[in-house]
Amino acid sequence: MGAGGSRRGILQLWGCTELLSPRGDTRCAPQLALLYEEVLYTILHRLGKPEPQHVGDCRELYCYVQKAFGMDPEEHSAIMQQVMELESPIYCLKATVKEAKGILGKDVSGLSDPYCLLGIEARSQEPAHPEHKKRMKAVVKDLIPEDQIHRTQVMNQTLSPVWNETFILEFKDVETASFHLDMWDSDVVESMRHKLGELTDLHGLKRIFKDARKDKGQDDFLGNVVVRLKDLHCWNDQWYQLEPRTETYPERGHCHLQFLLTHKKRATTSSRTQPSYTVHRHLLQQLVSHEILQHQAGSTSWDGELSSHASTVLYLHATQKDLSDFHQDMAQWLAYSKLYQSLEFNSSCLLHQITSIEYRWVQERLRPEQVRAELAESFQSLLTYGVSLIRRFRIIFPLSVPRSKDRLQSLLRVLVQMCKTKAFHELCTPSPDLPQMVSTALKLFFHLQSIEENSKALSKLLLEVIEDLKQCQKIWNKLFIMVLGSSLGGVGVRAGGVRVLCCCCAVGEASAFIPRDGPLALSNFHQWFEEALPLWLQKAYSTTLERAHRAIQMDQLKPYGYHKHSTSTVDLSTCYAQIVTTWQQLNWPDPEKAFMIMVNLLEDMCKISLMYCKLIKERAEALSLSEQNEGEAANKLCIVVNNIKQLRLLMLKLPEQLDWNQLEQRTRGIIDPQQIQNALHNQLDSTVACLDHEVRDVVQALATKVTTCPHLAQSSFTQGVLKPIILPLPCSLLTLLWHHTLSVLSAARGPQVRGSLHPCPQSLERCFHAEGCGLPLETINSAAFQALCTPSTMGIRTASLSLYPTAQLDTSSEKYGAVTIKALYRPSEQKLRVEVLNATNLIPLDSNGSSDPFVQLTLEPRHEFPEVVARTTQCKKNELHPLFDEAFDFLIPAEKCRQEGACLLLTVFDYDVLGANDLEGEAFLPLCRLPGLEPEQDGAEPGRVPQTRLPLTHPKPTDEILRLLESRKGDKEAQAFVKLRKQRAKQSKETE
C-alpha cells in the first residue's frame, strides 16, 4: 500500500474522513499536517536520557512517524523545515521533594527543624579531581540568583521529614544545567531556660555550647544534592544521598526526589489551540492505527502491545505535555475501545485501561465536560457493540475456530468490568442491567420467525436446535455462569429417549426452544434411571462373562491374523471397549454415584480377567491332550502367554480410557483420596500383578514341556516353534524361559535326555534368536548372559565378582592411590571387624591442590546384606595422605561371607560442602579371604592381623554385565545395582 493509500485507510478506520483534503484525495490534510508538526516538534526538542526499552536514535523516530502518517519525502521535508523555524519551548524541570530520612540532629533535643532550598544552576560545576580537596562547597545561596531559589516548608523537630512539595524550575540548556538542593536546620532564637528544658543528654549540652559560639539565628547545614540534568531520564524517582560541605559527617542521610522534564509554551499550532489531552489522544489513534495495519488483516493475535518506536514517541509527548497517568489511560481507553469496533483483535488489552480508570476515578475527577461526554459515549458504544457480538456468538465465535471460547470470555470480562466501575454508573444514568441485556440477546437466536408445515424441514430444524442445546449445556453455559453469574438457559440432551421427548415438546410448542429464566425440568432426568442402574450393571457383567466363555470354547489357540494372540482375546477386548463407550455416554451427573459405578465396573472387569486366565489355561490343557505333536502343544502355551499379555495391556489402558483423572477431580471434596486409591488404583495393580504371575506360571510350564521331550528340543526348536512367543515378550521373560530351560536340562536324568543334551544349546540359540527377531546371537552366546539367566541375585553376584580383578591386590599400580586396612572375622561372635588405617597418594580434587577425604564402608551385594548399614569415617581436611585409624564392626553370619561375590566395598570420597562429593576411588575386598573365617583361626587378635593395602580403582561404564542387568526393567534390585554403578562411573569420568 502506498503512502496515500495508507493514509486514507488510517483516516477511514478512525472515521476521520474530515482530515482528508476537500477534494477527497490523499494529500496531507490540514489537521493531519498539524498533528505531524506536533510529533516532529516533540522529537526535535527531546529531553532526558532514553529509557532502556525505548529508541534512542531520533533519526529512527523520524523515519517511523513518516511511515505512520503516510508522508512522502517532500511533505516530510516541508513540515520539518517549518518545525525547525518555530521557537523552542521553555524547558522545565518539575521537581518534587518528597521526604528525607536519617538526617543529622542539630538541636539540643537531638532533632532538627529541616527545610530545603533548591534551584537550577545555569552551568554545571565539573567534579573536582580526587586529589584536590575543596575546603568548602558552595551552597544554593551562593550559586543561584535569589529570585530563582525555591524553599520548602520547615518541618519541626524530626529526623524523617515529609514535604511532598512540587516546584517548576526553568532552564535553557540541558547539557550545562544542574539541579541543586540544600537541606538546612532552621535556627530560631530561644532563651537559655527553654534550651535547658529540652536538654536530655551530654550531647545536648555540647550543642548548647556550640550554639553559644555561633551567631544568633544562623541555620545549620544538613547536606546537599547535586544532579546534572543531562544524567536524568524524562521521569526519575529515587533516593539521593545528602553530601556534606566538608569531609566531616560523611553520613548525613538521604532525600527522596522525583523529577519530570517537561515543556512550557510549545510553539506548535496544536499545543496553542487544543488541550494537551486531546492532542495526545489524536496522536495515539494515529500510531495505533498504523500498528494494527502492520499485522495481518483480521488477526486476533494482536493484544494491544505497541512497538518500541510508537511507545517512545507517545512517552515523550506525554512527559513533555505533563499528562497524568489518568489522562494517558483515558486516551488509551478511548482509542482502543473505538478500534475494537473496527478491527478484530484480542479485547483483553482493554482490561488494563478500564481497571486504571476505576482506580484513579475517585482521586482525579474529570473536570472538562467534553471529556466526560467522550468517556460516556465510549461506554455506551462498546456496550452496544459487545451485546451485538454476543447475540451472534455462535457465528462470530464458532467452536471450530481455535481460541473462540477464550475470545468470548475476554469480551464478557471487559463488559462486566466496565459496567461495575463508578465512572460507568456516574456517566451512564440510568445504568443498564448487563445480565438482562445478555439474556435478551441470547433469546433472539431461538426466536422462530416462521415454521413450515413440511415435516422434513421441521425435523431438520429440530436436529439443529438439539445440537445447539448440547453445545450450550457443555461449553457455553459454563462460561456465562462463570463470568456473568447467569445461566444460558439451555438444556443438555444426553440420551435418545430424552432427545425424542425434547423433539415432541418442540413440535407442540415452538417456544420450548427459547431459553427460560430457570433450568428446565429435564435437568435431573438421570434420576429416572437410577433404580434400574444396578440391574443394568449386573446384566452387563453376566453378558460379558457369558461371551468370554463362548469365545474360549471356540478358541483353537492359533494366531489371529498377523497378531500373536488368538480370537478369544479379540472378543474380550471388544466387550471391554463396549463397556468403556457406555461409561463415556452415560456421563452420570452425580459425582458420588459415578464413583460407585466406576468401582463396580472395575471389579467386574477384574473378575472377568482373572476368570479368563483360568479358563484359557484349561482350554490349552484340553487341546494339548488331543494333540499328537508336542511342538503344537508348546505353541498353544505360547499363545496363552500372548493372550494374557494382551489382556494385561488392555487393563493398563483402563485409567486413561475411563478418564480416572476427571473422575478424581469431580469427586474432590466428596470422596476421600485414599478411598479412591484403594478402590481403583490398588485394585487394578493387584489384578495386573496376578496376570504377571499367570504369565510366569505358563512360561515355567512351557520350559518344563520343551525340556522333558528330547525330540522337541532337537526338531521343534530348530523349526522356530517358539517364535510366536519371542516377539511380544520382554527380555525379563525371555531370560526366565532360558533359565528354566537350562535348569531342567541340567537336572535331567536318563539316557534319552542325556543323549539330546549335546544339540540342545544350538537349538535353543536358534529359537531365542528367532531368525533375527529375538535376542542377538552374541548376547545369547556370551558367558555374561548365561550367568544372568540365573535369578537376579546371582546376576548381581556375578557382576560383583567382575568388579574386583585379582590384579587389584598388586600394589605396583596405584594410579588413584591406595587404602590400607585390617580385616578379621570372629565366627564365635559372628562379627566382622574392619580397621581403616590410612590412605595414600590420593588425587587432589579441590582448587587448593588438596582434598578432604573420607571412607565409606559397605557390604556388597546389597540384597545379601539388606540390614547392614553403611559406615563412614571422619573427614580429614586438606590431606592427600590421611590417617584415619578407625574401627568398625559388622554383625553378619559366616555363610554370608563364604558366598561367591560377597565383598567389602571401600569408597573414598572428597567431601564437598555445596555440591555432590567427588569420587577419589574404590576398592573391593572378597569376604571369603578374611582371616579368622575358618573355625581354627577364631582366636586371632586384631593386632596380629596383617595389613592389607588395596589400590583404588575407578568403575568402567561399558561393562557387558551391567548392560544386561539394565535390560531387566521390572527387576528393582538389578536396576538399583546398575544405577549405583552408573553414578560411580559418572563421578569417575568427571574426576578424570
The residue-averaged pLDDT of 30-45 equals: 90
As given in the structure block, the three cell numbers for residue 935 are 573355625
Angle between helices 683-707 and 731-747 (to 10 degrees): 40
Q: pLDDT-based confidence at 153, cuts 50/70/90?
A: very high
CA distances from 861 to 153, 802, 901, 973, 980 (A): 84, 12, 7, 10, 11
| Cα four-point dihedral sign 978, 979, 985, 988 | negative
Torsion, Cα of 646, 647, 651, 657 (10° steps): 70
Domain 533-709 adopts which CATH fold?
A: Tetracycline Repressor; domain 2 (1.10.357)
SS3 442: helix
Domain boundaries, the chain: 90-123+138-265, 324-449, 533-709, 710-744+760-783, 802-953
Rounded to whole angstroms, the Cα distance separating 323 from 315 reads 10
Q: Which helix (H) or strand (E) segment is 611 a member of?
A: helix 591-626
CA-closest candidate to residue 287, choices 260, 268, 312, 265: 312
Q: In this structure, what are the phi and psi dihedrals at residue 913, rounded to the nearest 5 degrees?
A: -70, -45
Mean pLDDT of the chain: 75
Starting at the earlier edge strand, list the strands of the sheet with 871-872.
871-872, 853-860, 903-910, 918-926
Least confident of 258-262, 422-426, 954-958: 954-958
> Taking 60 as the threshold, does the pLDDT of residue 193 lie above it?
no
CA-closest candidate to residue 102, choices 248, 221, 252: 252
Q: In this structure, what are the phi and psi dihedrals at residue 99, rounded to the nearest 5 degrees?
A: -160, 175
Annotate 961-974 with DSSP letters as a single string: HHHHHHT-TT-HHH
pLDDT per position as a tens digit, 662-675: 988 888 888 888 88
> Taking 60 as the threshold, does the pLDDT of residue 179 lie above it?
yes
Domain 90-123+138-265: CATH class, spelled out: mainly beta
Burial class of residue 915, CB neighbours in 10 A (0-12, 13-18, 19+): exposed
Grid cell 517549518 — which residue?
A: 82
Q: For position 274, what pLDDT does the model report?
A: 87
Of 118-122, 419-423, 564-568, the range with the highest mean pLDDT is: 118-122
Grid cell 541543586 — which residue?
A: 180
339 versus 495: the higher-pLDDT residue is 339
Helices (H), 653-759: 654-657, 660-666, 673-676, 683-707, 710-711, 723-726, 731-747, 751-756
pLDDT per position as a tens digit, 281-304: 889 888 888 887 776 544 556 666
pLDDT per position as a tens digit, 430-457: 778 888 888 777 766 544 444 444 455 5
Rounded to whole angstroms, the Cα distance separating 108 from 196 reads 8
In the chain, the percentage of residues whose pLDDT exceeds 70 is 69
Q: For position 782, what pLDDT does the model report?
A: 59
- According to DSSP, the residues that pair with 356 across neighbouring strands are none
Rounded to whole angstroms, the Cα distance separating 18 from 16 reads 5
The residue-averaged pLDDT of 68-93 equals: 91
> Taking 70 as the threshold, does the pLDDT of residue 916 lie above it?
yes
pLDDT per position as a tens digit, 817-872: 999 999 998 888 889 999 999 999 888 888 788 899 999 999 988 778 888 889 99
Taking the CB of residue 725, how many other CB atoms lie within 10 A of it?
A: 27
Rounded to whole angstroms, the Cα distance separating 466 from 502 reads 8
Q: Which helix (H) or strand (E) segment is 906 a member of?
A: strand 903-910
Rounded to whole angstroms, the Cα distance separating 137 from 119 reads 16
447 versus 201: the higher-pLDDT residue is 201
Torsion, Cα of 603, 609, 613, 615 (10° steps): 90
Q: pLDDT-based confidence at 401, cuts 50/70/90?
A: confident
> Taking 50 as the threshold, does the pLDDT of residue 125 lie above it?
yes
Q: Do domains 90-123+138-265 and 802-953 have the same CATH topology?
A: yes
Q: In this structure, what are the phi and psi dihedrals at residue 921, rounded to the nearest 5 degrees?
A: 160, 175
Rounded to whole angstroms, the Cα distance separating 865 from 902 reads 9
Q: For position 853, what pLDDT does the model report?
A: 94
DSSP 135: S
With a CB cutoff of 8 Å and minimum separation 6, the contacts of 190 are none
CATH number of this structure's domain 802-953, picked from the four choices 3.40.50.1000, 2.40.10.10, 2.60.40.150, 3.40.50.1950: 2.60.40.150
Annotate 305-350 with DSSP letters as a single string: PPPHHHHHHHHHHHHHTT--HHHHHHHHHHHHHHHHTTS---TTHH
Grid cell 430424552 — which residue?
A: 498
DSSP 545: H
Q: For position 494, what pLDDT does the model report?
A: 34
